Structure 1
Amino acid sequence: MKLRSLKSLSTAVKFRNGARIFGTGAAKTGTHSIGEMFSDAVFAFHEQDAEKLIRLHLERETTGNAKPLHRYLRVRDRLRNLKIDSSQINIYLINDLEQLFPESLYILTIRRPLDWLRSMIDDSLRRDTTETWLRFRDYRFGPKASLPHETPLETRDLYSVGGYLKYWTDSIENVISRVTPERLLIIKTHEISGQIEQIAHFCGIPAESVTPEKTRSFVNPERFGVLAELDPEYLIDTVEAACGDLTAELFPDYSIRDAVAALKVA
């Protein structure tokens, strides 16, 4: 979307009080819910202008020139006037947001790795997407699956388990390594509905402004059972190698082996 198109969409008048809130986290971790749960009270959106931001980020990665992206972010901020801007794309914009909008606050949504991986694969299979988002998938997940143990992924033109989980890890570490703890709220996906007051307090918005049914937005309506087709021991070993330490730190009561076993009965 061009900048002049942004201007035509900014027709309502609302004031953004307090700090900007950037919701960030991997796809399918709850960024949609964070972007919608306060939308009745403030300008709060999920992945608004996503394709333009993806193209500008990928262009910056190729050319090393961040000026077009920064110009767009500044004008977009002025015209959209978002209090809460929640998007998986924000993972890759943390340094830019910190430079342009210092003292902003961040909500990082995190999800247990096997729950997330299943949901990510199901979401990829259930709907078509645009060329921009396909390029973004390649950028995030790397090469397509080709290993002998990953035939169920390869035949569906999906990515490797390691590639998906590297993205899962990067989506967390990119945020916590760049945002100071006092400006960062980490929320587990399965706890969003039960943490309304904490999230509202962090955002400086009354908890009664939350629309409860929006705290579980964009839930996958269909499951394809792809992970259950993989060899369980291979899956356990791959998850442990890719993100076992981070998983143990963030989800101390979570068992990767139990989660893999549960895939067979889900």
Structure 2
Amino acid sequence: MNGGLLRITGTPWPGVHYFCSTRQGGVSAEPYSSLNLATHVNDNVEKVALNRARFEALLPGPPQWLEQVHGVDVAEFNSDAPSQCRSSVVCADAAVTTRSQCVLAILTADCLPVVLADEAGSVLGVAHAGWRGLATGVLENTIAAMRKHLKPQSVLRAWIGPGISQPAFEVGPEVRAAFVDADASTSVYFVQRYAKYPAVGQKWLADLPGLARHRLWAAGVANIELSGHCTFRESALFYSYRRTPHTGRMATVAWLNGATD
């Protein structure tokens, strides 16, 4: 039954396994139905534990869960002792490892999960990229942490997983300013939306996956793949905080398969 859980993934990468879960295949009740993997959303703790057990049966070991705060800190799990990849939860919004079978994990429900690796599959990174993290450098910090373990000529690739799409992501002028004030070229990722009631103020539709791709390119990532899935619109597959604030979370996990050991 565990093997039947639906997994969203992209093009196969040498040396790397990665995928994003969906909301299907678990035991949680509404509004968390059914494969909620988050412990911080007030779901029944026993049901979350069962969901995680089903999910972890697909993995080579327990995931390194993070306490995510929409920040830019990167946790590194590069100890020679594999057990270090099973340490207590740390506060960070990204993680990096050079260890095989060390499962990195990101929880999302509209924000973007981003998986990064070099083409040789020797260094792995994952990042939780909402607009705040994107604007303040979570992807750049993740790449910098990875490059410490790579040769200067190493080529990076990235997969941007399911997240909210531009037609569903309405933001205020402060979100646009967070990007455009620092880089005027990012204005193309915002489409003005005229409010039905002018007193509400100016609104924009933001292309979150496009902004992530833009910043990855600027940071030197050569090969970038987008999943094309929208968490807001595809309600049968994904949780969406914008659609339903009281909801669950999907997990994106990745691990190196041991080619570099």
The TM-score with structure 2 as length reference comes to 0.33
TM-score (norm 1): 0.33
Is the helix fraction higher in 1 or 2? 1
- Choose between structure 1 and 2: higher strand proportion: 2
